[in-house]
Amino acid sequence: MCCIPLWAVHSARTPAKEIFQLRQTIIIGSGPAGYTAAIYAARAKLEPLLIASSVEAGGELMKTTEVENYPGFPEGIQGPDLMMAFQAQAERFGTTVVLDDVTALDLTGEVKRVTLGNGDVHEALSVIFATGSAYRKLGLEEEERLSGHGVSWCATCDGFFFRKKTIAVVGGGDSAMEEATFLTKFADKVYVIHRNENLRASKTMQDRAFENPKIEFLFNQTVERIYGDETVTGLGLRNTVDGTERTLDVSGLFVAIGADPRTHLVHGVLDINPDGTIAVEGRSSRTNRPGVFAAGDVLDPTYRQAVTAAASGTVAALDAEHYLASLPKDLLATAIGEATPDAVPA
Amino acid sequence: MSNAKDVTDASFQADVLDSEKLVLVDFWAEWCGPCRAVSPILDQIASEHSDKIQLVKVNVDDNMEIAAKYQITSIPAMKLFKAGEVVKTVIGAKPKPALESDFAEWLK
């Protein structure tokens, strides 16, 4: 088998347009993990190519506002500004950033092949896979149809349209708290719906939401139905304790119930854990395929913070350097970028 | 920066509804990251099909009337107008091949 076929959005496959010279390393993903891997790999003179995606470059932080827990920014920093800074730092040391999507991957041989949406094929001796995670959906019948018509996954994008409205956020983690708090800038009333009484969100984020007079928590409730013809008009809720049902009139629903690792490109090729993350060896970033490394949320079922993702990107870059140093010198010599055996701690 | 014309509440009738050409309207805002991401892709599609469609932009911050009229609750929202009527709506930033296939019928 040569290539893994890709996903749904790429209905039209373009024939290979150009095949580029072999590289030391290609990084797939442009969140904190991908860019940090690129900073390390670039400083090690590997001249990495980073495939950033066409419309999601910068990853999840592009959709957030204030980031207050990234070290080094005592006053906080806007998510998009942080990601622009990551990119600039990666480029400063010689990373080439490509705004396109990976449509197929061949990770089986010593030379890995990465096919892009525009048909270009890039080859490298190592690949760092840092594709992050994708929003989880509720799995309700009307969710897809009303998506963009009151159902949203991005408060910073869509909150503006709910001025003086009553809306709901479903979820109990940091992102649900952040969205709810952010949405009170626009909405008159924000319900936070959570299936039990234990929020996963950090204490700071919880307190901020609890103190906000526009936010009301509805604990032990699940969203069973979304009502609305053209746009959302209400929700059907079920009480998880006594099973009672009720209707909640809202004109918007923001879904913040977590995310799943984005691994569709590597199914059947890389070992995947039962929780959906990519399996790696111990504390390393090494997958079951030699020369293929994983970083960031795609391998992390637990922490999933910008700073842990960044750290994970560092691990992957160092592992990749170490792997490259073990390859035959004549093979390395054919690839763009230098890999020097003594550059990396073993 | 996009070369697409900025359309306002005041000019929407003349620039979009009365246009003889197909008009692709991109509802966007400065603070919307996905809008910025999809903008150059729309520019490319429009320039590759300039004989068929014209791309214009509506800044929803400045033109809330039109945004409300077309019930925009999520951006980027792209609406294709033919003879004053919406014939296709696409919501959310998508890769170029996905947008091309969404609008394929009108780009032929």
**Model confidence at A45: pLDDT above 70:** yes
Give A63's pLDDT tier (boundaries 50, 70, 90). Answer: confident
Is residue A2 part of the annotated active site? The answer reads no
Q: Which amino acid is at A230?
A: E
A12, A117, A161 ranked by CB distance to B101: nearest: A12
Average pLDDT estimate for B34-46: 93
User: Is residue B55, in this structure, part of any structural domain at all?
Assistant: yes
Mutation site for B-interface testing, chosen from A54, A99, A254, A265 by largest number of B Cβ within 10 Å? A54
What ipTM, to 2 d.p.?
Answer: 0.82
Q: Which helix (H) or strand (E) covers residue A226, if one does?
A: strand A221-227
Average pLDDT estimate for B20-29: 96
**Domain containing B72: what range?**
5-102
User: Is residue B107, in this structure, part of any structural domain at all?
Assistant: no
CB of B107 less than 8 A from some CB of A? no
- CATH code (residue B49): 3.40.30.10
Mutation site for A-interface testing, chosen from B44, B73, B86 by largest number of A Cβ within 10 Å? B73
Report the number of secondary-structure helices (H) and strands (E) in chain B: 5, 5
DSSP readout, A46-114? ---EEE--SS-TTGGGGG--EE-SSTT-TT-EEHHHHHHHHHHHHHHTTPEEE---EEEEE-SSSSEEE
pLDDT of residue A138: 96
User: How far A298 CA lies from chain B's nearest CA (Å)?
Assistant: 21
Is residue A157 part of the annotated active site? The answer reads yes
What tokens does B64 get? 């809330």
User: How far B34 CA lies from chain A's nearest CA (Å)?
Assistant: 7
CB A19 within 8 A of CB A123: yes
Active-site pick, B23, B35, B41, B93: B35
User: Is residue B58, in this structure, part of any structural domain at all?
Assistant: yes
- Residue A160 to residue B41, Cβ atoms within 8 A: no
pLDDT of residue A338: 76
pLDDT of residue A17: 63
CB of A168 less than 8 A from some CB of B? no
**For residue A223, what are the β-bridge partners?**
A237
> Rounded to whole angstroms, how far apart are CA atoms A219 and A198?
9
- Residue A231 to residue B73, Cβ atoms within 8 A: yes
How far apart, in Å, do the first and last CA atoms of chain A sit?
A: 34
Per the listing, tokens 């990251």 go with B33
For B32, the closest chain A residue by CA position comes to: A157
Domains of chain B: total: 1
pLDDT of residue A20: 83
**Model confidence at A3: pLDDT above 50:** no
Q: Strand, helix or coil at A216?
A: strand
pLDDT of residue A7: 36
* A positions 106-145 inside 8 Å of B (CB): 117-118
> Rounded to whole angstroms, how far apart are CA atoms A345 and A322?
8
* B positions 33-72 inside 8 Å of A (CB): 33-35, 37-38, 41, 60-61, 67, 71-72
**Model confidence at A80: pLDDT above 60:** yes
Q: Is the N-terminal amide bond of B76 cis, ω within 30° of 0?
A: yes
Beta-sheet strand order (sheet of B85-91): B5-6, B53-59, B22-28, B77-82, B85-91
Sequence-distant (6+) residues with CB within 8 A of A177 are A192, A199, A201, A205, A206, A208, A209
Which domains does chain A possess?
23-135+259-343 (3.50.50.60), 151-255 (3.50.50.60)
Note the pLDDT tens digit of each residue in A19-31: 788 999 999 999 9
Note the pLDDT tens digit of each residue in B54-83: 999 999 999 999 999 999 999 999 999 999
For B96, the closest chain A residue by CA position comes to: A54
- Residue A161 to residue B34, Cβ atoms within 8 A: no
CB A50 within 8 A of CB A95: yes
User: How far B26 CA lies from chain A's nearest CA (Å)?
Assistant: 14
User: Is residue B108, in this structure, part of any structural domain at all?
Assistant: no
**Model confidence at A73: pLDDT above 50:** yes
pLDDT of residue A336: 87
- Residue A54 to residue B96, Cβ atoms within 8 A: yes
pTM: 0.85
Note the pLDDT tens digit of each residue in A104-138: 999 999 999 999 999 999 999 999 999 999 989 99
DSSP readout, B28-49? E-TT-HHHHHHHHHHHHHHHHT
For B71, the closest chain A residue by CA position comes to: A149
Mean pLDDT estimate for chain A = 91
pLDDT of residue B3: 82
Q: Which residues of B touch A252 (CB under 8 A)?
A: 73
